[in-house]
Amino acid sequence: MGRNLREKITDENLRRDEQYKILFKIIEEKCIRHSIDLLQRIPDGLKYSTATCDFIRPGKFSDNDMFFPYMICFCDIPVEDLGIHISKYSHFGLSFKKSFLIERGASPLFYVEKNSAIENTTRSEYFDKMVDCYLNYCNYIINLKDPGKIEPKSEECFKISQFMLDLLRYIKFFDASKPDNDKDNFYMEREWRSPYYIHFEIAAICRIILPSSYSERFRNDVPEYIGQITFSDDFS
């Protein structure tokens, strides 16, 4: 967490302090949410609340920047493989059981290798072409105005469009020619996403990941946590 701080704060100690604050804020609020959204409290007993809408921006689908879904992201990474992820993102994190997240809308991504051959081209070029075709077709049908003949088709096309957007937000491209520790090789992350804010109790946290120098501070800040702590220093 706090990957964007790598570019904003060059001093490592200051950056780690800010990343720790993000971790503590998540635990204090008992909610994982998209950073731009205000916290929305939900009634007791509910497991999640709606996170959001998607934005479609100019660009190529295969560059992973055409669709900008407000999703909550997790990585299904074995502990012994955390080193690559820590080097790309942060020394701080927390984990939950997979079953806990599945009940709250989480599902794994479908990874697509950009240069894989298909239809006499590459998958990145093929997907870019077909996604553009799909969006243009749906926009054309939805905006037709003949209520006598077109309205039912327009409504149906809108529903299909929403379904396809939900599918496309779970697709991510990567380049297998890049080394595992390259920031643009996402395959090793084994990413899962949920479209909802994830609400939790501290007892649901399975593991806290942080540098050993923050262990005492964390124990004082969150004395009710009795779960496992993994020191990220061990993977540096």
Model pLDDT, residue 66: 82
Percent of the chain with pLDDT over 90: 28
Q: Report how far apart, in Å, the C-alpha atoms of 228 and of each of 16, 22, 94, 106, 204 are.
A: 20, 19, 10, 23, 12
Neighbouring CB atoms inside 10 A of 162's CB total 12
Cβ-based neighbours of 193, under 8 Å, separated by 6 or more? 69, 71, 72, 73, 74, 106, 107, 109, 169, 170
Question: Rg (Cα) of the chain, in Å, rounded?
Answer: 21
pLDDT band at 47 (very low <50, low <70, confident <90, very high): low
pLDDT band at 145 (very low <50, low <70, confident <90, very high): low
Model pLDDT, residue 164: 77
Tokens (6 digits) for 189 = 């992350």
pTM reported for the whole predicted model: 0.75
Model pLDDT, residue 24: 96
Domain boundaries, the chain: 5-235
Q: Which of 105-114, 152-161, 219-228 has the lowest mean pLDDT?
A: 152-161
Model pLDDT, residue 11: 80
Residue 183 · residue 175 · CB < 8 Å: no
